[in-house]
Amino acid sequence: MDISIVVPLVNERESLPHLVAWLHRVIAGMGKAYEIILVDDGSTDGSWEEIQRLSTGDDRVKGIRFGRNYGKSPALNEGFRAAKGDVVITMDADLQDDPDEVPELYRMIKEDGFDLVSGWKQKRYDPLSKTIPTKLFNWTTRRVSGVHLHDFNCGLKAYRKEVVKNIEVFGEMHRYIPFIAKKEGFRKIGEKVVKHHPRKYGHTKFGFNRFINGFLDLLTITYIFRFGKKPMHFFGGLGTFMIVVGFLATSWIVGEKLWHSFVLDEPAPRVAEQGLFFVALTAMVIGVQLFTAGFVADLVSRNGTERNRYRINERVGF
């Protein structure tokens, strides 16, 4: 199998026949063996019935149906698991992504040797309420991830098969697939300017809460890759800092009391009347709690089923 097209969708019944026919026309002209995997993420508008109709008598069209709406990341993850093509291309089902981009994306993976190629919607047909937050989101993600892409959230992407088989996409992590791929050692990541069409059918699934969730997911994925197998390094570091702060505050209080008592020969301030006492107490308590969290996280990590799962490219001498 040369190409797998993975299309996650929710309530896109009207767009599906046009999208599938367009893909057939483009990929058939390439002379490549292919499959189109439509992942129905809990649609309620008859999208699944349309997928069944499109797949009848055509083994190139395949469908996966979720029992309810789980989100784009789980839909992509299931599509990746099912994909058999050497090159896997994802796109949205709303006809805003252009299937005519498929041949060049395929060429960039197969001939230019990219692990992942991400689309860049340089000219967008979206309202300012969507494009301005998107620019801020992309800037933040570039700074944190070190992956220099203009459009992380573009649904039109191409991957080598090895990439999608060695990453896991969950929660709302589909925005950060290039970041995930980089952390798994797939470092040849490219970008291609792609066409973006106005939405023809249905309505956008965009909401401002996606940016809040996206920021939280960015923090999560950064933590997982840096400390997922060694959580004590994170919690223990913070715990050590808090205990040092508490110890220094306590030392100051004790030193001040001794200074007043033995040097100035006057009554020392009562400990419980000093604000620094509460700083010391709070810092010590938080430090101990962070250490405890680190120990518990290490125990959980040690008993995880994937604690020793590593991606191995090659072996020799076995």
- Within a domain: 89: yes
Across residues 85-91, what is the average pLDDT?
Answer: 96
- Within a domain: 90: yes
**What pTM did the predictor assign?**
0.74
Q: Are residues 182 and 235 in the same domain?
A: no
Q: Are residues 202 and 81 in the same domain?
A: yes
Q: Whole domain around residue 48: which residue ranges?
A: 3-227
Nearest CA-CA partner of 189 in 113, 133, 126, 128? 113
Rounded Cα distance, 156 and 22, in Å = 15
Q: Are residues 42 and 148 in the same domain?
A: yes
Neighbours of 88 (CB within 10 A): 26
Give the Å distances, CA to CA, from 244 to 233, 253, 273, 280: 16, 14, 22, 9
Total domains present in the chain: 2
Q: Are residues 275 and 164 in the same domain?
A: no
- Within a domain: 313: no
- Within a domain: 252: yes
So what's the pLDDT on residue 306?
60
Residue-wise DSSP of 25-76: HHHHTTT--EEEEEEE-S-SSSHHHHHHHHHTT-TTEEEEE-SS---HHHHH
Q: Are residues 135 and 26 in the same domain?
A: yes
Q: Are residues 140 and 254 in the same domain?
A: no
Q: Are residues 263 and 186 in the same domain?
A: no
Phi-psi region of 265 (alpha: psi -120 to 50; beta: other; left: phi over 0): left
Q: Are residues 211 and 254 in the same domain?
A: no
Could you report the per-residue pLDDT of 211-269, keeping only the tens digit for each? 676 677 777 777 776 776 778 888 888 999 999 999 999 998 888 888 877 777 777 77
So what's the pLDDT on residue 310?
54
Any idea what the CATH number is for the domain that residue 133 is in?
3.90.550.10
Collapsed DSSP state (helix, strand, coil) of residue 193: strand
Whether the per-residue pLDDT at 305 is higher than 70: the answer is: no
Q: Are residues 68 and 54 in the same domain?
A: yes
- Within a domain: 186: yes
Final residue of a structural domain among 196, 227, 258: 227
Q: Are residues 142 and 77 in the same domain?
A: yes
Could you report the per-residue pLDDT of 31-81, keeping only the tens digit for each? 999 999 999 999 999 999 999 999 999 999 999 999 999 989 899 999 999
- Within a domain: 311: no
Residue-wise DSSP of 121-175: -SS--S-HHHHHHHHHHHHHHHHHH----S-TT-S-EEEEHHHHTS----TTGGG
Name the average pLDDT for the chain.
85
Helix (H) or strand (E) holding 257: helix 231-258
Final residue of a structural domain among 186, 211, 227: 227
- Within a domain: 316: no
Final residue of a structural domain among 186, 201, 227: 227
Q: Are residues 81 and 184 in the same domain?
A: yes
- Within a domain: 106: yes
Asked whether 217 and 175 are in contact (CB, 8 A), the reply is yes
Confidence of residue 199 (pLDDT cuts 50, 70, 90): confident
Q: Are residues 179 and 289 in the same domain?
A: no
